[in-house]
Amino acid sequence: MPTLELLHWNDVHARFEGLARLAGRARQIRDAAPHPVLLLDGGDVEDTGVRLSAMTYGVAGWRLLGAAGVDAAVVGNGGLLRYGPTVLPRYAQALGSAPLVCDLEVDGATPTGAAPSTLLEVDGLRVGIIGSTDYYTQYDASGVRERGRVTAVRREADGLRARGAEVVVLLSHAGIHHDRGLSWALRGRVDVIVGGHTHDLLHKGDRDQGVPIAQAGWRAEHLGRVLLEVDADGARVVDMHVEPVPASAPGDPAVLAELAAWPPAPSPGRSCAPCSGAGSRRSSRPPRPAPSGAGRTASCTSSVPTSTAARCTSVAGRWRTTAATGSPPRTWSSPPTAPWSTRSRRT
């Protein structure tokens, strides 16, 4: 009887050292497992409150997911709310595969760079994975519209079954309450929901719904594990649990190497093109001086906390800094496109 294991995490929120530890543990499990193992990300690897994530429009996190060996990742709200759907092709290139989402559309089609579902084959077992995410009315401003979630997920599940999927997983960033409601409409179509968004730590999963639901907290503190058995009658979840991954755990070498390869962030006290009025919504407003004091940048006219000063980034990736002497601004030499445009993909 074939066995499949799903390893998963969600809502890393740019805790990249923690992500390295989770990836290290996942690699240990994969290396030792006698059965096929897939690694899934439940969305929101990005966080604009973390400098490297903000400087790169979230791309750094997706590069790290690729280095970790993630097989499929769902579109979260973190990148879409802040940067809009045009960032998705960057995420796809960084990960090495399209982020998944079936219940959002732009101009009547799945957003460019994303895919509604994917069919993977691992050790002869065909596994379909569908992406679903929460909807925000703020998406309307960037042309993103909501598709009916039940209809969209069921359509993808039926299509994957028709293509030979023996296991179908819903990788959801819609939140536990939506997942529980949706589960009753997915019986017989979806075998398990691997969730995120609401940061729930389901130690043994939730088996009291139409479909078993897993979720592994947030901030890269726990690794979720789902074990399924597959036979002619279908797939059944036989075990669900999460395991804590402590700060003392070793990080995955590939993720640590990817993290170290990024150029250092601009130091506090720098400002970017939008802050100086170039090519931004601030360009029609006179710049306002940043208040001095703890936790604020001294020269950034956006007046954001030092920990989130890198939110001030231009689309072109031009960071500017003004020296204390008042000399003209200079451009940071390494734009955020450099890591994925000049370095080869992982092997």
**pLDDT digit string (tens) for the chain, length 347 residues:** 799 999 999 999 999 999 999 999 999 999 999 999 999 999 999 999 999 999 999 999 999 999 999 999 999 999 999 999 999 999 999 999 999 999 999 999 999 999 999 999 999 999 999 999 999 999 999 999 999 999 999 999 999 999 999 999 999 999 999 999 999 999 999 999 999 999 999 999 999 999 999 999 999 999 999 999 999 999 999 999 999 999 999 999 999 999 999 877 555 444 443 333 333 333 333 333 333 333 322 223 222 233 333 333 322 232 322 222 232 222 223 333 333 332 333 33
What is the model's pLDDT at position 52? 96
**Per-residue pLDDT, 44:** 98
Structural domains of the chain, with CATH: 3-258 (3.60.21.10), 267-331 (no CATH)
- How high is the pLDDT of residue 1? 78
- For the chain, what is the HEC assignment? CCEEEEEEECCCCCCHHHHHHHHHHHHHHHHHCCCCEEEEECCCCCCCCCHHHHHCCCHHHHHHHHHHCCCEEECCHHHHHHHCHHHHHHHHHHHCCCCECCCEEECCECCCCCECEEEEEECCEEEEEEEEECCCHHHHHHCEEECCHHHHHHHHHHHHHHCCCCEEEEEEECCHHHHHHHHCCCCCCCCEEECCCCCCECCCCECCCCCCEECECCCCCEEEEEEEEEECCEEEEEEEEEEECCCCCCCCHHHHHHHHHCCCCCCCCEEECCCCCCCCHHHHCCCCCCCCCCCECCCCCCCCEHHHHHHCCCCCCCEEECCCCCCCCEECCCCCCHHHHHCCCCC
